[in-house]
Amino acid sequence: MKIIFIGTGYVGLVSGAAMAKLGHEVLCVDNDQAKIHDLNKAVIHIYEPDLTELVRQKLTQEQLIFKNSLAENLSFSQVVFIAVGTPEALDGSADLSYIYQVIDEIISSAQEQKLIVIKSTVPPGTCKKLQQYLFDAGTNHIILTNPEFLREGSALHDFLHPTRIIVGIENQDCHKIIDEIYHPLTKQNYPLIKTNLTTAELIKYASNSFLATKISFINEMANLCEATGGDISALSYGIGLDPRIGKEFLKAGPGYGGSCFPKDTSALAHIAREYQQPLTIIESVVKSNYNRKYIMLEKIKKSLGGDVKEKVIGILGLAFKAGTNDVRDSQALEIIELLLDEGALIKAYDPISIKEAQKLLKDEVQFCTDSYKTASNADCLVIVTEWPEFSKLNYKKIYDLMMHPIIIDLRNILNPLEIRNHGFKYDSIGRQ
Ligand code: UGA
């Protein structure tokens, strides 16, 4: 089947390429000319395993096409997926202006009825409003929604092996097309769940908010472990074995970051307030995660005797998690900003996201080309992202290189006993 994808960000590009892998013919549209130019040469600026190879292969097989103009290419297919950004507005709500821009363009350019599938994360009620907007404009285009659950770093795998496919659908005539699009996955028994538009929108927000809640819960339990003498790793394992709790997303750390959880929890809390149905749990999660960076700052200060002024601090990891070069809403960047405000001197290294971090951080950060250069002459080394290479470093060498052998491991990736045996003063999260 022919499909149009609008927006070649994380979700749009991965989903478009994955749909081509499922056998569809996909046209991806983005108004960023430089990006389309690069994509046509299979040059991809996000780090995602296997994506470049897939894009290159599908370009060669002419199953994937990249274009700039939506108006000129709208006749390619009746099915149009919208995967543009819905960033956080100043008041915490989701900014839907990019979605409306695309809808307006479809209204003015489409010559035939379109099935418009919203893949972007949009607050509950948005698709109903979009449907009304299309009717009010005198068109018969139909809105569906199909939220995405892929994770950065395993995005293609997640798309092709989904835990579930959720479709919001209120028009009886659209079932056949959706079934056909996802047949390559449903025939492998991946579940496709159809529900109404608002429920599908809510499933996306509820999923991300529930996962964020698990993380904040375990982070606060880690605080309690530190205060009482408990061990968060054993605690996570101990509770996670209960299948009603589940062991995933129980790793304590510097707080959740990235382009999804912070924005989606805020947006859900915001919309619930608008409906006078406050989500007190999610409000607390947002607050708890906001406070997390200050708790990390205090931890670093304490290890350095209470003050970081003019102390050289080496930061290992800038991405919001391992396996991605994405630094959006990264705890690492927020902690660096706080340390700079307190007068610390920052050296930083990340295996793949330095270029992205440089665009967002102040000039005074000294970026290094490896972990050892970051450790050299540092008063303290802070591990913020759980890149596997950080647990395999030669810590004897690191000990010799540092001015003061202090390591703060915000991801619990090192063995406390081993690292202390090297002579380090070591602190981590929720462990003694
Ligand atoms: C998240 C969801 O996991 C996806 O299902 C969803 O599709 C996506 O958002 C989205 O809405 O587009 P992602 O942002 O790629 O995916 O990252 P996660 O792997 O979920 O991690 C989010 C944050 O939580 C990271 O900062 C990570 O370090 C942190 N985290 C995760 C923890 O601190 N502890 C954990 O146990 C797990």
387 lines ligand 1 (CB under 6 A): no
- Distance (angstroms) between ligand 1 centre and the Cα of 239 equals 20
Q: Ligand 1: which residue has its CA nearest to atom 19?
A: 151
Cβ contacts of 33-36, under 8 Å, gap ≥ 24: 33/68, 35/8, 36/8, 36/66, 36/67, 36/68
Instruction: Provide Rg for the chain, Cα atoms.
Output: 23
190 lines ligand 1 (CB under 6 A): no
What is the structure's pLDDT at 310?
96
SS3 content of the chain, % helix, strand, coil (to 5): 45, 15, 40
Give me 419's structure tokens. 């690292």
Q: How many CA atoms lie within 13 A of 283 on its CB side?
A: 8
- Distance (angstroms) between ligand 1 centre and the Cα of 398 equals 30
Residues of the chain whose pLDDT is less than 70? Answer: none
Q: Ligand 1: which residue has its CA nearest to atom 11?
A: 260
Neighbours of 280 (CB within 10 A): 9
Q: What is the pLDDT of residues 378-403, one digit of tens each?
A: 999 999 999 999 999 999 999 999 99
The helix (H) or strand (E) run that includes residue 427 is: strand 425-427
- Looking at 28, 260, 368, 380, which residue is catalytic? 260
8 SS3 class? coil
What is the structure's pLDDT at 93?
83
Among 151, 330, 383, residue to substitute to test ligand 1 (most atoms within 8 Å of Cβ): 151
What is the structure's pLDDT at 393?
98
What is the structure's pLDDT at 402?
98
Range list of β-strands (E), 283-379: 312-316, 345-349, 366-367
The helix (H) or strand (E) run that includes residue 28 is: strand 25-29
The structure's pTM equals 0.95
256 lines ligand 1 (CB under 6 A): yes
Q: How many CA atoms lie within 13 A of 7 on its CB side?
A: 22
Give me 302's structure tokens. 């304490």
321 lines ligand 1 (CB under 6 A): yes
What is the structure's pLDDT at 88?
83
119 lines ligand 1 (CB under 6 A): no
CA-to-CA dists, residue 230 to 226, 237, 322, angstroms = 6, 13, 27
CA-to-CA dists, residue 22 to 91, 187, 279, 286, 291, angstroms = 39, 12, 39, 37, 43
What is the structure's pLDDT at 94?
84
- Distance (angstroms) between ligand 1 centre and the Cα of 261 equals 7
The helix (H) or strand (E) run that includes residue 371 is: helix 371-375
Closest to 387 measured CA to CA, from 330, 307, 304: 330
Q: What is the pLDDT of residues 143-157, one digit of tens each?
A: 999 999 999 999 999
